[in-house]
Amino acid sequence: MQSVVVRSSRPKLHASGDTLSYTASDFSSAQDRVIGDVIKRLPGISVAADGTISYNNKPVSGVYLGGDNLLDDKYTIATNSIPQGVVDQVQVIDNHQPVKLLQNKVTSDDVALNLTFKKSAKLRLLGQETAGAGLPGNYYADFNALFLKDQYKAINYLKGNNTGEDLQQELVSHNITDYKQRIGNDPPAKMLSLGAVNDPALSRGRYFFDRSGLLNVNNLVNLKNGLQLRVNASYLHDTEKQDYSQITSVFLPGDTVQYRETQHNRFDPDLLHAQFTLNVNKEKYYLNDVLLLDDNRWIDYSDLNTNGSTVHQVYTFTKRRTEKQTHS
């Protein structure tokens, strides 16, 4: 009698303590380009339109690369850049306590992700170059270089397009709102605006008209004695256009009143950010020294026409910040 062997092709999850591991290749498909495409498909994980990752409906505190914190909570930079084929496992770390000095002393309910990489990915420079053009004058370019070694990690790239891809989404700090609320630094809403219309309930790429360019540099070096140096810098320039029209009719018993409104808006953000971090994270000692530099400028223009009367508006906003943070 011949023996029968039954094999299951279903993906397997591996649990060890507070860590749940997904093998990336078990959930990938031929159409996936970056690891963010695979993460969207993992059981228990959801990804919002702005790139925010949640595990069991709880936003993750960050995405680590081989155990290193290269990006803080601006992890869309990683999920939109790292090729899915170089990732070995996506690990979900529950009750994550990033400060080794506080582990087993101060409990945490944070959830973090960690990406582990195949050995072949750690031995060489990774890069992807994409360029395209089309009529009537569309362009798209993406040039990046990645290092995923144990001692040195880097995600550096230059992107530009006018095809509706919003590059500002890659610079979002996904947990900044909750952080400001916890420390009591929740700034009030802006008092002035152009009165522009709200975004429609459509995919952003269908109505977003822009000409954007982004240079993003993220480098981390692990030195001896647990010393870690990190540089994160970015510059974004964008020109966004928005056209809107509306006709409102009010029907009265003997007459009809009609209002016509059109808007032609242009938004020009210039966003510069630089962060230099010195970190030592040991079981008996912790130091995190950060120097932040921000220079963000917005110039917005709006031509508002209501029943033949035109109002031209210009809104200028500048935010500069130089901040030194030390935690030990």
Are 20 and 91 contacting, i.e. CB atoms less than 8 angstroms apart? yes
**Res 17: pLDDT:** 84
Percent of the chain, pLDDT > 90?
56
**Res 308: pLDDT:** 82
In one-letter notation, the amino acid at residue 36 is G
Are 247 and 235 contacting, i.e. CB atoms less than 8 angstroms apart? no
pLDDT tens string 151-166: 999 999 999 999 988 9
126 to each of 115, 149, 151, 209, how far by Cα in Å?
16, 11, 16, 31
Tell me the whole-structure pTM to 2 decimals. Answer: 0.86
pLDDT at 8 over 60: no
Binned at pLDDT 50, 70 and 90, residue 184 comes out as low
Distance CA 144, CA 302 (A): 35
Nearest to 79 by CA among 93, 65, 92: 65
Only one residue has tokens 């925010």, namely 52
pLDDT tens string 27-86: 999 899 899 999 999 999 999 988 999 999 999 999 999 999 999 999 999 999 999 999
Task: Share the mean pLDDT of the chain.
Answer: 89
**Res 304: pLDDT:** 87
Distance CA 100, CA 196 (A): 48
Nearest to 295 by CA among 267, 269, 315, 314: 269
Helix (H) or strand (E) holding 178: helix 176-182
**Res 226: pLDDT:** 85
**Res 207: pLDDT:** 85
Q: What is the DSSP letter of 199?
A: P
